[in-house]
Structures are given as structure tokens and as C-alpha cells.
Amino acid sequence: MTATTTAPVAASAPSGTRQPSARLRAWVTRAPLLPALVFMIIVTQLPFVATLVISFFDWNALYPKARHFTGLDNYRQVLTDGTLRHSVWTTVLLTVAVVLASLVLGLLLALLLDRPFRGRGLVRTLLIAPFLVVPVAAALLWKHVLYNPEYGLFNGLLHYVGGPQPDWVSNTPLLAVEASLVWQWTPFMMLILLAGLQSRDPEQIEAARVDGAGNWQIFVHLTLPHLRRYLELGALLGSIYIVQNFDAVFTITSGGLGTANLPYTVYQSFYQAHENGLASAAGVLVVIGSIVIATFALRVVSSLFREEVSRA
């Protein structure tokens, strides 16, 4: 890593002199970067600009001739329309609940896995497995195999203890979607937090122990502050991925029963209702929401990143 911190200085030295050869050399250095950069700008940035433009038009794909500029009207409609406002709220609820629950569970599991015990590697593998099931398959598993009121595993197990036989998805639709996502995302949080736990300084902990600190004191005063950045990172990355969730909502409830989140609503409003302008306005709102999260995420990543660069 020392190389990467010193090399830019060496590379920037010749560019001060405005010789054609220095310029040429700078372009030679840049050349390997250009294909990836150009590709990303074309495939990810241009469509977003197009979305922004479309969001200012009243445009239903079924009536292409009636397309006309409406300014901010789509935004007004998105923000005042009850179903769309509801989907904003659903997105927030879904994201916050899943991120918090999987973060807490992930922390507990990471703490359990941080200590040596027989078969630790195997338990780690078992715990990662839910994250490695294809998301649609995981959602199908929960919908049909676990939640089904007649033959699902949950009611089957309740049957043994003489418990009730609830219809999980109909009774608590949002919670049903959330539980399946928590099952998939807890391993992700666990892995990030486990990496955090294992990057603690063992000497510092040993020193605290020698000074007579108990396990709980060490956890509160040393481990948690050290983990703070990893918790933030897990929360932010989890938010970025879960705000965009489409698979679970689409599969378990098909957006019904009040579980339609913004990505599902955007999908539905242009794929089924052909309202291109409205869908774009909703899409832009999703982006504005993610930019807020992303700004914090980028800050955390860059502080961890700088720490890495300076540590080496």
C-alpha cells in the first residue's frame, strides 16, 4: 500500500512542466482507465439524465401523440397521490426495519462466531448459506414452503404444540416480507461485523483485561467504539441494497396488501400502467432518497479507506 500513496506524487511531478512528452505520458497512464470510465458513463449516467428529462413530461405510452411538457406536475402528482405516498412510507418502513433487525442479529452472531469453538468453520458456512440463495428462490421458499397457511412449515410446527394456524402473508404482509429479507441480510451484516471484530487490536484488549476490566466493560468501551464504523457501513450498504429491493415484494405479495415499495411502484407504473412521466418522477425521487444515504455511505467508506491507506 505504500506504493499507492507515494506513486501519485512521482506521477504528478512531470506534469508541471508543459512538455508534450509529459502530456503524452499522462494520457498513456490514463488510457487503461478510459474504457471502463466511458462504459460506465454511457450505461449508467445517460439513462438517468433521460429519466430526469422524461419526468418533466406528461407521457402515457398508450397515447404517445398526447405527450407534452408539464414541468413539475408529475412530481406534484407523485407527492400528492395517496398510493405513491404510501409506497414512499412503505419503502422507509421496510428498509429501516430490515436493516435494524439484521444489524442487531448480525452483531449477536458475529460476537458468537468471534470466539473459538468446535466446528466454527461449519457454523459460519451454515450461517452464510441464506445469503447465497437466489433472492427469488428465497422469496418463493418463504411464501410457499414456510408461510403457506395449509401446508407451510411454520403452521406445521405450530400444529405440534397445538398453536393457532395463521395466514402469515395475509395477516401481516409487510412483516412477512421483512422477515424473509432479515433472514437473507443477517449473514451480510454478520460478515461485515465479524471482519470488524477481527480487526480489533488484541494487545489493547489484553491491556484492559490486565487493568481489571470485565467482559462487559471491554465490550462497551473498546469493542463497540471500534465497531461503530463497521455498524455504520453495514447499515448504509444494507440500506442501499434494501431500498432497491424488488424481488421479495414482487414474489411474496406482488406489491399487494399495502407492501408496494418505490421500486415496485416505478416498475408497475410504466410496465403495467404505461405512465412514463409519472414513473420517471418517482424514479428521480428514489434517486434523491438514495443520494442522501449514499453521501453518508461514501463518507464512511472513504474514512475506512483512508485508514487502510495510512495504516499500510
48 forms part of the interface with other proteins (CB under 8 A): yes
Least separation in angstroms between CB 62 and other proteins: 14
Binders of other proteins among 134-163, rule CB under 8 A?
134-138, 140-146, 148, 150-153, 155-157, 159-160
| Residue 250 engages other proteins in binding (rule: CB under 8 A) | yes
Where would I find the beta strands (DSSP E) of the chain? 57-58, 68-69
Among 17, 82, 117, 211, binds other proteins (CB under 8 A): 117
Q: Would you count residue 63 as binding other proteins (CB under 8 A)?
A: no
* 181 vs 284, beta carbon nearer other proteins: 284
Please give the single-letter amino acid code of residue 105: L
Residue 24 binds other proteins, judged by CB under 8 A: no
Among 17, 33, 203, 212, binds other proteins (CB under 8 A): 33
**Residue 283 in the binding site for other proteins (CB under 8 A):** yes
Residue 211: CA count within 13 A, CB half-sphere: 9
Q: Is the dihedral of CA 300, 134, 86, 59 positive or negative?
A: positive
Q: Which three cell numbers stand for residue 258?
A: 399495502
Interface with other proteins, residue 13, by CB under 8 A: no
Given 79, 96, 112, 208, the residue binding other proteins (CB under 8 A): 112
Q: Which of residues 67-106 bind other proteins (CB under 8 A)?
A: none
56 binds other proteins (CB under 8 A): no
Is residue 251 a contact point for other proteins (CB under 8 A)? yes
Distance CA 49, CA 283 (A): 11
Find cell 395449509 and name the residue: 150
Asked whether position 220 contacts other proteins by CB under 8 A, the answer is no
User: What 3-state DSSP class applies to 45?
Assistant: helix
Q: Which stretch binds other proteins (CB under 8 A): 79-87, 96-104, 181-189, 216-224?
A: 181-189
DSSP assignment string, 122-167: HHHHHHHGGGGS-HHHHHHIIIIIIS-TTT-HHHHHHHHTT-----
Residue 305 in contact with other proteins, rule: CB under 8 A: yes
By CB atoms closer than 10 A (0-12, 13-18, 19+), residue 226 is middle
